[in-house]
Structure formats: C-alpha cells, structure tokens
Structure 1
C-alpha cells in the first residue's frame, strides 16, 4: 500500500478506532487508568513523527514569496479568528466546549494540509515552505487568542500553569527533537529514508490515540453527543467561510490559481494534533474539550472530500 492511499482512507481508520475504543471503554471500564497513562507517550511519539514531516529549517524559502506569505498569515491569524468570533455565539454556554472549539479552530494545520494541497491541485512547494511559519506563529499566538476569547471563563476552575507540562513535554520537546533529527537528515542524502519511514507513523498513531481517548473518556463522549450536533453545524460553517475567505484574499493579493488553492486548504484545515495534548492535560470537568477536538478532525476529513471537488473544480477552477 502506498502512503498516499493510507492518508486518503484515514477517516475510516479513525472511525473504526473510535468505535473500538468505545466498545473497550464500555466492556472494560477498569482499563481507563492504564489507557490514560499510556496515552501520553503515544501522543508524544505522534507529535514527534508529525513534526519530523514539517520542514522546520525552510523558513527563508517561506519568506521569499511575500504575497502568498502575507495572504496566509492574514488569513490564518487575523481573518480566521474573526470568523471564529462570529461563529462562537452560536455555541452553548459551556466553557469546556467553547475552549475545545477555540483550541482547534484557531490554529492552522501543519500535517495533512500538505497532502490535501497536493490532491487538490495546489502548490505543494508553497505549502511545504509556509508550514513552519504557521507552526511557530500558532504556538506564539494561541495564548493571546484564548485570553481574548475566554479570559474570564478560563479563570473558572482552570489554572494555566497546569498545562505547562503538556506544553513542554508533549509539544516543545518533540518539536526540538524533530528539528535535531531533520538537521541530522539534511547532512546526508541517504538519511532521507528515515524521514520517509516516519511519515507512515502519524495515521496509525493518531488512530491509537483516538481509540484510547474513546475508551478512557467513554462517559464524556456519550455525554457530549447532544452538544456535538450544534458543534457540527459550526464546523461546517467554518469550512465554508474559510474557503470563501481564501477566495477573497487570493483576489486581493493577486495569487495564482495554484496558490489560491493552497491558501484555501491552509485556512480550511486545523491543527488538532498540536492542541490535543493541551486539552487532555485539562483538569477534571473539562473533558468535553477533548471530545470536540477529536470530533473536529473527523468533520474536517469529510469536509476535505468536499474541498477536493469544490476547490479545484469550482472555487479555483482553471489554470494560470
């Protein structure tokens, strides 16, 4: 099986993993503590394998295309937060649910965004070059966004200091190790095979993560089902609005058709991998945040099936 085939069918793998996890959680509820303990190293390995695929040392190449870079940064870090702000009032008044939605919608994707750009006729090289900028910008800006959106609500039963171990142990440490490995790989062409082998890891590892979350948080998953209907419509509205924002920015910055498609996939895909550790590290009572983040990933994958038709054949049709 080719790696691209695995990524095309990943949504079905995740659905099967969630179903298996729910069955395990209901059949063997005593396994929850063991799964909670196992979740952290698996999640760290997932993020490491994901970060290895991000060209962390390609920042100069990303900065070279000023128009595309400007459109991407304005879209992801100015217009998308404004879109989320417009959608947020439609959510129930539940701090945990709102926090989960904000965590996942405010940060652009750094992994399968490149895959869908390639499948959708976008500019893969631009997608690769802009990814490290998106990753670094979201790590810097996410705390500011959360303070602006939920400043008062975050103070209710949530101590941000409790998230520091997850931030450093599950995000910054894997990021640093991935950068060191990339530096080692870049030193010799024969070492590229290591990176290619690691590219197979994210899909099965994420399937294992969502299965363990479903098994250990089965009551939270089942309890959140009514709210997920409202969240579903918000996620669908976000996918539609993000693509239309990309179209407007592409016209404003006079981007090529391929660059416009790349921008649309950048604005439409979100970085659930990176924010998931933060949600899992939240104290008791905030489990809904984890559920809505995992749910967003599934909605987004189905949405990308629509994007792969709509973006290249309707919204950004034709050639340059």
Structure 2
C-alpha cells in the first residue's frame, strides 16, 4: 500500500463525512441538482470496479476447490433465491407482484457483471505486461476512499430533497435499526462461544462482525478475495501468518 493510500485510509471517516456534507449542502442549495441521479450508477460502477480489482481472478480456478469459496457462491445464490420471499414478507403479496424486475436486472448487469468483467480483463492485461492495466491495478487501493466519498456526495446531493420531504416517515424506522443493532451485538457476543472459547479470540476478531454488519460500504468482492489463493491482493493483510480482511 502506498503512503497516500495509508493516509487516506486513516482519515476515511472524516473524508466520508465531508462527502456527505458536500452532498447535503449542494443538494439543498442548488435546485436542479436532482439531475445528479443519473450519475449514481456510474459512480457505483466505478467504485465496484476498483473493489473487484482486489479479487485475484487468475487464481479463481484453484479457488473452486476451496470450501470457503464454494460457501460464498452458495450463500450468494441462496440470497438471490430467497429474495422473492423477502419481498413477500416485507411489502406484502400485492406490492411484491407490482415490483418491476427490469431495474433489478439492469442494476445487476451495470453494477455487478460489467465491473466484474472489466476488472478481470484489467488483471488479464496486467498479467500480460500491458502497462496501463498495471497502473490501474496499482492505483485502485489509493482510489477507494475518494471513490466512496464521491459516491456518497452524488447520492446525498441527488436524494437529500426527497429524504427531507419524507423525514417524518423515515424517523419511524429508527427504532427498527436500533433493535437490529441490539440483536446484532448480542449475537456477536454469543455465537463465537459455540465455535471456540471467547478468550481464545482477540478483540479484533470478536468485534469484527459488528463492524461488518454495521458497515454500509458494498463489499461483494471481499469473501471472494479471502477465499482465493495466491498473492496478497490489495485490501488484505496477513498478521500472524493468516489472511484477514481489513476495513
């Protein structure tokens, strides 16, 4: 990791808050800024492209025999299969039937498939000594924090007026999120005891699920990165001889 990437990561919370603040100010002061909605998908696609660059695609073939990799794929497929059931429970049968599948399919292609394919192509070209591809791979870790901040600014600026108009309804969701936080923390404290004694786990390992469950950032590539063998990809560290996710 470069010195600039380390500096940005140490200050990422402040940078994200600055992005949100800029989005709030711009969204409230400039009347026509709702047009930034068209920039949300490109910003997210660019962010996910940088994220997928951390997956060592050239080692995917060896990863297929890894149980962790297969478990990740099965969990993703299970989530996709269970999604209609979630909709029925959360919004009811009539609303679920009215859901248009088109935007979901488009989002999947634009935000998952396209960044994934381009990232894999970038790594393939980089492996063949194509200079610009290697430069992109090298710059990706440094660009992550600015890209997240940019995405936050774009989303907040384009949606802040809608949110402010529905603030009363949104405040009603606060108890639900608080209840989720309480249940999540309780489970994080109880579940590790089933696998091994809690005292055998350091604080970072025991508390990491809380950070994961409460983090908004999209991380579809992290399980793949953790389960894929090969050289250390950006965004991973290896203390005590074991790969561990960071951030």
- In structure 2, the partner of 1:261 is 206
2:163 paired residue among 200, 203, 221: 221
Stretches of structure 2 lacking an aligned partner (at least 5 in a row): 221-247
Distance in 2 separating the partners of 1:55 and 1:133 = 18
Return the match for 1:252 from 175, 194, 219. 194
| 2:140 maps to 1:198 | yes
Counterpart for residue 12 of structure 1: 14
Number of residue equivalences:
208
Residue 180 of structure 1 pairs with residue 121 of structure 2: yes
**What per-residue deviation string (whole Å, max 9, x for no partner) do you get for residues 171-226 of structure 1?**
111012223333444567x9866433111222212222221222222222213433
Shift of 1:159: 0.7
Over aligned residue pairs, what C-alpha RMSD do you find? 3.7
1:243 and 1:268 in contact (8 A); partners too: no
CA contact (8 A) 1:52 1:195 kept: yes
Q: Per-residue deviation at 1:59?
A: 7.7
* Aligned match of 2:224: none
Q: How much does 1:148 deviate?
A: 1.6
Residue 244 of structure 2 corresponds to residue 242 of structure 1: no
How high is the TM-score relative to the length of structure 1? Answer: 0.52
The DSSP-based 3-state class of the residue aligned with 1:217 is: helix
* Deviating more after overlay: 219-228 vs 200-209: 219-228
Conserved in 2, the CA contact under 8 Å of 1:247 and 1:260? no
Q: 1:166 aligns with which of 97, 101, 107?
A: 107
Structure 2 counterpart of 1:146, from 83, 87, 110: 83
CA shift for structure 1 position 11: 2.6
Query: Contact conserved, 1:50 with 1:202, CA < 8 A, in 2?
Result: yes
CA distance in 2, matches of 1:224, 1:54: 39
Highest Rg: 1 or 2? 2
* d(CA) in 1 for partners of 2:177, 2:62: 34
Question: Alpha-carbon deviation of 1:272?
Answer: 4.4
CA distance in 2 between counterparts of 1:210 and 1:253 reads 37
* Distance 1:167-1:61 versus aligned 2 partners, 3 A rule: closer
Compute the displacement of 1:167 (Å). 0.9
TM alignment of 1:1-320, pairs within 5 A: 2-33=4-35, 35-56=36-57, 57=59, 64=66, 69=68, 134=72, 136-137=73-74, 139-151=76-88, 152=93, 154-155=95-96, 157-185=98-126, 194-254=136-196, 257=201, 260-261=205-206, 264=209, 268-270=213-215, 272-273=217-218
Superposition TM-score, scaled by structure 2 size: 0.65
Distance (whole Å) between structure 1 residues aligned to residue 146 and residue 95 of structure 2 = 33
Could you tell me how far apart the structure 1 residues matched to 2:135 and 2:201 are?
33
Whole-angstrom distance in 1 between the partners of 2:128 and 2:187: 40
Distance 1:8 1:59, change over 3 A: farther
Of 142-151 and 162-171, more deviation after overlay is shown by 142-151
Q: Tell me, what secondary structure is at the counterpart of 1:273?
A: coil
Question: Are 1:20 and 1:211, in contact at CA under 8 Å, matched by a contact in 2?
Answer: yes
Deviations 1:109-163 (A, max 9, x none): xxxxxxxxxxxxxxxxxxxxx6x964x4554233333322222264264211232
Contact 2:20 2:156 in 1 (8 A): yes
